[in-house]
Amino acid sequence: MEFKEATLEERHLYYKKEWKIKDLPPFLIDSLKQREFGFDHDGNGPKDRYETFNSVREFERFMKIKAPYAAYSSISYYEKPEKREGWMKAEIVFDIDAKDLKVRRCDCTPGNICEICLEDAKELALTIIDTLRSNFDLKNIFLIYSGRGYHVRVLDEEALYIEDRSKIFDYVTASRVPEDLFMKHGYPEVFRKMFAFTFSRMKNMRSKELIENREEIINRMLNRRVDFLDFVRKNTKKRILESVAEINRELVDGKVTIDTKRILRLPSSLHSKVSMICRVVKDWENFDPLRDAVPKFRK
Ligand SMILES: [Zn+2]
């Protein structure tokens, strides 16, 4: 499939005929008045900021008339969103961009996407959600297809007030090698899971032993076998674990997670650069963006 930029006419067609206010997730409708909105009207970035809306109807009218190139809303709730003042709380977000994935099964060059790396991005998002649920007991989690990747948005009330998000980012992405790799649960388990994701996709590995035994290494790792990397020397072993941790850290855009005032692409809006719909994913396993997020004017 080709990812073509939408014309002005197509944007208007989308917002007039296809976009509906009810496609906006309830968690945004319920907090509409506390959010800051941002818009990109011409494809040059979200320069129209500090926008606020007093009612759903007002917002609906704005979208239908303007048919923005891109629409965003703050992950944060403000007392005065029109001034970005009185920060109350903010969703915790993990941003996975398929075009920036450091490891992927396809041969896409950085900046490009295909069906396979979109699938990889989803697998990564689901892995992160699994960690958030099992290790942090978070439940109110949304998976959003962003147009070229996925957003994981956490709305559990107790999580919204955390200001320093770097620790949770490092934990969830497994960006450090744990001291004890083989502990049954907790962080070591998260690391092993992420090791499997990354190591199975790593390219340009110089060692023949690693390439030939890749699957076996992953299996042993997941089964907590201390001999999982016995195919290589001790020094190499350490290096591999560290490079996996380093890649893990870059799979998700850390700047987005740490920034508690971020604006994020609005679910239901059109990602005009690639003509795809940013939308809440309901059926996590079966969602296929090339079937479920393509606007009618592209079909
Ligand atoms: Zn690809």
Each residue of 220-257: pLDDT tens digit? 999 999 999 998 998 999 999 999 999 999 999 999 99
pLDDT at 204: 83
CA distances from 230 to 53, 225, 288 (A): 60, 10, 39
Whole-model pTM: value is 0.96
Q: From the CA of 116, how far away is ligand 1's center (Å)?
A: 5
Q: From the CA of 122, how far away is ligand 1's center (Å)?
A: 12
Average pLDDT over residues 136-154: 97
pLDDT at 30: 97
CATH 3.90.920.10 fits 8-94+260-298, yes or no: yes
Q: From the CA of 5, how far away is ligand 1's center (Å)?
A: 18
Residue type, 194: M
Going by DSSP bridges, is the β-strand pair 270-271/276-277 parallel, antiparallel, or unpaired? antiparallel
Q: From the CA of 39, how far away is ligand 1's center (Å)?
A: 28
Average pLDDT over residues 275-299: 96
pLDDT single digits (tens) 73-122: 999 999 999 999 999 999 999 999 999 999 999 999 988 999 999 999 99
Q: From the CA of 196, how far away is ligand 1's center (Å)?
A: 19
pLDDT at 99: 94
Give the residue extent of every domain in the chain: 8-94+260-298, 102-137+172-253
| Contacts with 274 (C-beta within 8 Å, 6 or more apart), sequence order | 3, 4, 5, 147, 148
pLDDT at 149: 97
Q: What is d(CA 284, CA 292) in angstroms, rounded to the nearest whole number?
A: 12
CA distances from 5 to 42, 111, 116, 204, 259 (A): 12, 15, 21, 33, 29
The DSSP secondary-structure symbol of 87 reads: E
Residue 209 reports pLDDT greater than 80: yes
Average pLDDT over residues 138-143: 98
Give the length of the chain. Answer: 299
pLDDT at 287: 97
Alpha-carbon radius of gyration of the chain: 21
Runs of H (alpha helix) within 97-233 = 115-136, 166-173, 187-199, 208-212, 214-222
- Residues marked as catalytic: 95, 97, 253
Q: Which helix (H) or strand (E) holds 76?
A: strand 76-80
